[in-house]
């Protein structure tokens, strides 16, 4: 589903469904996500294609994996490079492709990410209890967790608690390809 309009409609329908199931108003959703009521309304109607930052805010506010908003529900899922949904960071440095997810306690989601050369993506803290595993599939990346920097080369991996500020920095002239696995534990 590379069609941004189709993705926007899917995110909107999914978000509206989650909101209705939980019995919360758009105003209440705005308060728990720190995303304006106007923007949330546009997303629900499929009139806005939200950035990765906005999708993270919504997912964190609802305490759900972001892939819950981005992936279609199917019995058998094949994730092929460049054929799935794509979400860009606000600075367009990082392209995220959700691959797979499971929901419920201990939810897991996997993503492919492409980090442009000479760029960085800084993420806000995710919801409490999220553990992130990142493997560099191509290139070299610095992973920042709080104030610490970790140098990762191809096939190196890192695990950290993602409920703190973190980010990815590509100081090289080639793009980097990352594989993310996120585990959502219920520490509420």
Between 14 and 72, the more confident residue is: 14
CA pair distance 66, 118, nearest whole angstrom: 26
**Structure confidence at residue 104 (pLDDT):** 47
Tokens 């939200």 locate to: 50
What's the pTM value of the predicted model, to 2 decimals? 0.63
Residue (of 166, 156, 174, 167) closest to 118 by Cα position: 174
CA pair distance 131, 65, nearest whole angstrom: 12
Is the pLDDT assigned to residue 105 strictly greater than 50? no
Between 68 and 25, the more confident residue is: 25
What's the mean per-residue pLDDT of the chain? Answer: 87
Residue (of 54, 89, 83, 80) closest to 69 by Cα position: 54
Q: What percent of the chain has pLDDT over 90?
A: 49
**Structure confidence at residue 150 (pLDDT):** 98
Please list the residue range(s) of the chain that carry CATH number 2.60.120.10. 87-184
Phi, psi angle pair for 118, to nearest 5°: 55, 45
First-to-last alpha carbon distance for the chain, in angstroms, is 34
- Topology annotation, domain 87-184: Jelly Rolls (2.60.120)
Read off the pLDDT of each residue in 73-89 and give the average, rounded to a whole number.
72
Quick check: helix, strand or coil at residue 40? helix
Span of 72-76, 120-124, 136-140 with lowest mean pLDDT: 72-76
Between 161 and 14, the more confident residue is: 161
**CATH number for the 4-70 domain, one of 3.40.50.1980, 1.10.10.60, 1.10.260.40, 3.40.50.300?**
1.10.260.40
pLDDT digits (tens, 9 = 90+) for 154-171: 999 999 999 999 999 999
CA pair distance 150, 140, nearest whole angstrom: 11
**Structure confidence at residue 155 (pLDDT):** 96
Read off the pLDDT of each residue in 89-110 and give the average, rounded to a whole number.
77
Is the pLDDT assigned to residue 186 strictly greater than 70? no
Please list the residue range(s) of the chain that carry CATH number 1.10.260.40. 4-70
Between 91 and 1, the more confident residue is: 91
């Amino acid at each position: 589903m590379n069609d941004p309009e189709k993705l926007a409609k899917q995110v909107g329908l999914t978000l509206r469904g989650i909101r209705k199931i939980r019995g919360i108003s758009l105003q209440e959703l705005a308060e728990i996500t720190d995303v304006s009521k106007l923007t949330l309304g546009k997303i629900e109607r499929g009139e806005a294609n939200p950035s990765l930052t906005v999708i993270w805010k919504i997912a964190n506010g609802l305490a759900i994996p972001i892939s819950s908003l981005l992936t279609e529900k199917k019995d058998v899922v094949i994730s092929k490079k460049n054929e799935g949904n794509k979400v860009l960071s606000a600075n367009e440095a990082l392209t995220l492709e959700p691959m797979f997810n499971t929901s419920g306690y201990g939810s897991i989601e996997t993503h492919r990410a492409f980090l442009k050369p000479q760029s960085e993506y800084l993420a806000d803290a995710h919801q409490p209890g999220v553990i992130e595993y990142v493997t560099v599939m191509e290139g070299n990346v610095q992973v920042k967790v709080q104030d610490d920097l970790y140098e990762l080369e191809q096939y190196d991996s890192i695990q950290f608690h993602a409920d703190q500020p973190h980010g990815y920095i590509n100081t090289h002239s080639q793009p980097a390809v990352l594989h993310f696995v996120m585990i959502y534990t219920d520490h509420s």
